[in-house]
A and B are shown apart, each in its own frame.
Chain A
Amino acid sequence: MKSSVEIVKAPEGHSGAGFFASSFDEVIGIARSNSLWPLPFATSCCGIEFMATMGSHYDIARFGSERPSFSPRQADILMVMGTIAKKMAPIVKQVYLQMAEPRWVMAMGACASSGGIFDSYSVLQGIDRIIPVDVYVPGCPPRPEQVIDGLMQIQELARNESLRRRNSDEYQQLLQSYNIQ
């Protein structure tokens, strides 16, 4: 019987009898992209939607995000889900700073992306005011399928970006613009 389980294809490279040669960029990119540990920073209803995404029905583990990391030290993606009040902003930033490179950020839902309906004195108008964001997932709240699509886009980033991107001038300037060393 033909299995419906797909495994990741081998990267491009040279193979011969008893050897296979490829570049670290390719291999490490594949390894990273299929083992992204998310840190769920859930503050409201989007967090509920993430629970569905994480649960057995939608099962984010199929994409290598088996283990939600509740410690920023071991996390690869910061998933910010829900309204971030201005008082919460320094905490989001601190969690981001505690994460080790390489790190990605997903803003899930309208509130994390732009403040959403909360055009208010107390609400941060999008987390990109304090930390750089890689992928924005729209919706109020987004469906689990959208969250998975967002995760797959981060997988694409992890797979294709240069391992040294995070040493690039562009990236350094980006962090500098957020006052992050």
Chain B
Amino acid sequence: MLTNQEVAEDLLKKFGDDVFDFEEPYGLLTLTTTREQAIPMLEYLFHHEKFQANFLTDLTGIHYPDSEGKEFAVVYHVHSLVHNFRVRIKVFLAEADIHIPTATGLYASANWMERETYDFFGILFDGHPNLKRILNIEEMDYFPMRRQYPLEDSTREDKIDALFGR
């Protein structure tokens, strides 16, 4: 049985200053790394003799509009099916330079997840074989999950307060 401590120490030894901000919310080992080390770290965990983190559970984005220089985060959840051990890896990106290397070379399943992340957050995955919208209409010219839009369309006239009791 792998422990968070064991994996964290191993990653610290391998990646040194490039891995930081360790957390354990609900017991899930969470850490942050740099854009350059993200894919090497996924590969390291995948091919590691002991950890064998061979399943990409999820890949998604987050928008933090108020954190300057770190407006976007890409989050990888990887799972070692052998040890039933999970780890969450975050990478922060600046809005002005919203690029990150693709993980499709390692996980074929990253293909659609990266397209989804691009579709909703506009994060550009360099080297992705087919980076285009996957869920939204192709004509859409914005990234809807960015936290910069009002929840309701304020120009609508049919959804008036009186009808909604507010």
Residues on A facing B (Cβ under 8 Å): 86-87, 114, 119, 121-122, 125
Contact yes or no, A122 B136, CB < 8 A: yes
Residues of chain A with a CB closer than 8 A to B144's CB = 121-122
Contacting residues, chain B, for A114 (C-beta < 8 A): 158
Q: What are the 10 A-B residue pairs with the smallest beta carbon separation, nearest first?
A: A121-B144, A87-B137, A86-B137, A119-B152, A122-B136, A119-B159, A119-B153, A87-B136, A114-B158, A122-B144
What residues on B are CB-neighbors of A121 within 8 Å? 136, 140, 144, 149
* Residues of chain A lying within 8 A (CB to CB) of residue B137: 86-87
* A87: chain B residues within 8 A (beta carbon): 135-137
CB-contacts of B132-166 with A (<8 A): 135-137, 140, 144, 149, 152-153, 156, 158-159
Query: In the complex, what residue of chain A is closest to B139 when comparing beta carbons?
Result: A86
| Distance (whole angstroms) from the CB of B53 to the closest CB of chain A | 33
Q: What would 18 A/B residue contacts be, using CB atoms closer than 8 Å? A: A86-B136, A86-B137, A87-B135, A87-B136, A87-B137, A114-B158, A119-B152, A119-B153, A119-B156, A119-B159, A121-B136, A121-B140, A121-B144, A121-B149, A122-B135, A122-B136, A122-B144, A125-B156
**Main DSSP-derived SS at the B contact region:** loop
CA distance A114 to B158 in the complex (A): 9
CB distance from B141 to the nearest CB of A (A): 11
Give chain B's interface residues, CB within 8 Å of chain A. 135-137, 140, 144, 149, 152-153, 156, 158-159
Given contacts A86-B136, A122-B144, 10 further A-B contacts (CB under 8 A): A87-B136, A114-B158, A119-B153, A119-B159, A121-B136, A121-B140, A121-B144, A121-B149, A122-B135, A125-B156
- Chain A residues whose C-beta falls within 8 Å of the C-beta of B159 in the assembled complex: 119
Specify which chain B residues have a CB less than 8 angstroms from the CB of A119 in the assembled complex: 152-153, 156, 159
CB closest residue in chain A, given B138: A87
Which residue of B is nearest A90, CB measured? B137
CA distance A32 to B31 in the complex (A): 67
A86 closest partner in B (C-beta): B137
Nearest CB of chain A from residue B123's CB, rounded to whole Å? 18
Chain A contacts of B140 at CB under 8 A? 121
CB distance from B90 to the nearest CB of A (A): 26
B139 to chain A, nearest CB (A): 9
Closest chain B residue, CB of each to CB of A125? B156
A122 to B133, CA, bound (A): 13
Q: Which residue of B lies closest to A120 (CB)?
A: B144
CB distance from B157 to the nearest CB of A (A): 12
Neighbouring A residues of B158 by C-beta, 8 Å: 114
Q: How far is the CB of B12 from chain A (nearest CB, A)?
A: 42
Cα distance, A12 to B113, chains bound together (Å) = 65
- Beta-carbon nearest neighbor of B153 in chain A: A119
Determine the distance from Cα of A121 to Cα of B139 in the docked complex, in whole angstroms.
12
Contacts of A125 in B (CB 8 A): 156
Question: In the complex the two chains form, what is the Cα distance from A86 to B159 in whole Å?
Answer: 19
Q: Least Cβ distance of B92 to chain A in Å?
A: 26
The chain A residue sitting closest to B159, CB to CB, is: A119
Give complex CA distance A140, B76 in Å: 38
Chain B residue, CB-CB nearest to A87: B137
Q: Taking CB as reference atom, which chain A residue is nearest B151?
A: A119
Nearest B residue to A121 by beta-carbon distance?
A: B144
